[in-house]
Each structure stands twice: as C-alpha cells, then as structure tokens.
A and B are shown apart, each in its own frame.
Chain A
Amino acid sequence: QSALTQPASVSGSPGRSITISCTGTSSDIGSYNLVSWYQQHPGKAPKLIIYEGNKRPSEVSNRFSGSKSGITASLTISGLQAEDEADYYCCSYAGSRPYVFGSGTKVTVL
C-alpha cells in the first residue's frame, strides 16, 4: 500500500494561489472520484477541507478547491493567508485496500 505522491513542500506569497498535486494509480485516484484533503497544523489533529474530489464542508473557506485529472488530484488554495501555513494530505478510497493517504505537503506562506 504505497502512499500517494505529493510534493514535499509548496510556498507562496500572501494573496497568491498555490496548487498541491497528489498522484496515485489506476487502482485508487484513477478508479474513484473519492479524494479527500486534510489540513493539519503542528500538534493538531487533521481537519477535513475537501471531500469527493471537489466538495467543501460548509465551514471550510471557499478559498480551498479540489480537482482531478486521470490519476492526479489537486488542491488549490487561493488568496493565500498566513493561517494556511500547515501540512496538507490527500487521501483516496482504493477499493479493497481501502484507503491510502498521500505523503504530505508542507505549505509555507512567504
């Protein structure tokens, strides 16, 4: 059960947009539109920010958006803010396995 591949780090200036990629295989992201994304601040539990690829829980800012193409899912954060500095993880349903997380991306706000 190999982890989904994410870039180790992504950075951006306040107010700009950044995109985090999450690459899987035909057995997970490629087969299901069931990718979720989690934000984790240091010492805290993860928080759900995107589910089913592109849907947001009601309490999550619309600055967060998700998409998918083939075996790669993406999370875009627009209007970057200092509070967005955190670790981000993707997760895909994978059928029989049945869940696999990404390797994680540290977002730095410059």
Chain B
Amino acid sequence: EVQLVESGGGLVQPGGSLRLSCAASTFTFSSYEMHWVRQAPGKGLEWLSYISRSGDTIYYADSVKGRFTISRDNAENSLYLQMNSLRAEDTAVYYCAREASYGYSFDYWGQGTLVTVSS
C-alpha cells in the first residue's frame, strides 16, 4: 500500500518559518509528480503547490507564492515544503498528495500535519 507520511508541523509565531516533510514509501517516488494541499480548520481544501518528477517544474498558488518553496529529494523518497513569513491564515492541516499516473488528480494522500500560526 502506498504510504505518505507528513511531519514537521507545529506551533509557530507570525513571521516565522517551518519546514514540512513528506516521506514516501512502497512506490517509486521519482516516477510521480507531487503536490501540497492544505485545509484550514473547518474549511475546504486549498491546492498549494506542484513539483514535477525531476523537480524542474514547479507551480504555486497565489496565496503562497514568494513565501513557500516546494522541493523533493528522490534519493531520500521525500517531498518538502519550506514555509516562510507565516501568517495566521496559514494555520491548517497540510497534506502531501501524489498525482495519479493518469494525471490531473490526486490518488494518494498523507494523513496531514497541523501547522498553527499564533503568538
């Protein structure tokens, strides 16, 4: 069974930084495009960022562009999200998600990691 396990969430002050990790296992990580999606408490899903298999193509939602950086290490089977200049509105559960081999949808999700931005 495909496994995606996020880590790195926690409480951070406004303006602070945090780095999320997503450890992938039981599939060939380097063969799949990956995404980050978040969900604020009691709210809907928000797509945040995409990275291609090799990492050479990256997209961001406007809400995080210039503050968040997605990256991957295929040798370590890991996906990352560096989050800087955090705001209260960034408080959410952050999910990593695998893009399906047939594309344009997310076939496996991690369990999520909670990021709370508060003073």
Contacts and interface: CB of A to CB of B under 8 A. Distances in A.
A101 B46 contact: yes
B28 interface: no
A90 B92 CA distance: 19
How big is chain A's contact interface, by range?
20 to 34
A34 B104 CA distance: 6
A99 B44 contact: no
A46 B45 contact: yes
Of A32, A36, A102, chain B has the most CB atoms within 10 Å of the CB of: A36
Contacts of A86: none
Contact of A52 (B62, B105, B112): B105
Contacts of A93: 104
Interface residues of B, number: 23
B11 interface: no
Interface in A40-86: 40, 45-48, 51-52, 57
Nearest to A47: B109
B100 interface: yes
Contact of A89 (B35, B45, B61): B45
B100 to A, nearest CB: 6
A51 B100 contact: yes
A38 B104 CA distance: 13
A31 to B, nearest CB: 13
Interface of A: 1, 3, 32, 34, 36, 38, 40, 45-48, 51-52, 57, 89, 91, 93, 97-104
